[in-house]
A and B are shown apart, each in its own frame.
Chain A
């Protein structure tokens, strides 16, 4: 596609349920990031995938959070046993392709707004 696509755009779930958030990056982009955006918290780094390297998971807030990237393309962020504090907008960004200069621009999706009730 033309841009980064995230689904669903909105998700309401009950506390304790598991959720999966999907990110389709721009075709050919080698790097993929997940961030969490909460009011007053800015963009909190969660996880970073680069090519075939081991992902940088240093931002995942707890072991309830996990992410995978299949075939170097689509990524899924999974939150198990959701809690109310998990409510936020989850953003995905991809980087890569083109010149070295272009390789530093992150292209963001519209995000998934997660509400845990």
Chain B
């Protein structure tokens, strides 16, 4: 079975500062990894995903995540955040048969001016 740990429940940061949201997973088999975002009063939506190939994946709004198999991590980073990035971010994992998508407890990113 897969599991996900997001150690930071809340990350406060100033606008234009860099940010890293941590995600570690546990699995005995190969995995797919995902970051989902939930903006205030909106539904969850996919931000980016790693399936195979390049270990560095990017989103259209400047976020990136790197799959590190040896450290079983998939941390999310952005070099310069905007107020509009304020949201809750969820890391998720599934096996490559895509059974049972499992989410972490989420990290609330709070960007202030």
Question: Contact residues of A with B, CB < 8 Å?
Answer: 31, 33, 35, 40-43, 45, 48, 50, 56, 58, 91, 93, 95, 101, 103-106, 108-111
Decide: A33 near B106, CB < 8 A? Known: A106-B46, A108-B44: no
Whether B100 and A40, one on each chain, are in contact in the complex, defined by CB atoms closer than 8 angstroms, is: no
State the interface size on chain B (CB cutoff 8 A).
Answer: 22
User: Hey, which chain B residues are within 8 Å of A95, CB to CB?
Assistant: 98, 101
Q: Which of B32, B36, B105 contacts A40 (CB 8 A)?
A: B105
CA distance A31 to B102 in the complex (A): 14
Whether B51 and A48, one on each chain, are in contact in the complex, defined by CB atoms closer than 8 angstroms, is: no
- Residues of A contacting B: mostly: strand
Q: Which of B43, B49, B106 contacts A104 (CB 8 A)?
A: B49
Question: Contact residues of B with A, CB < 8 Å?
Answer: 6, 9, 32, 34, 36, 43-46, 49, 51, 90, 94, 98-106
User: Hey, which chain B residues are within 8 Å of A111, CB to CB?
Assistant: 43
CA distance A56 to B95 in the complex (A): 14
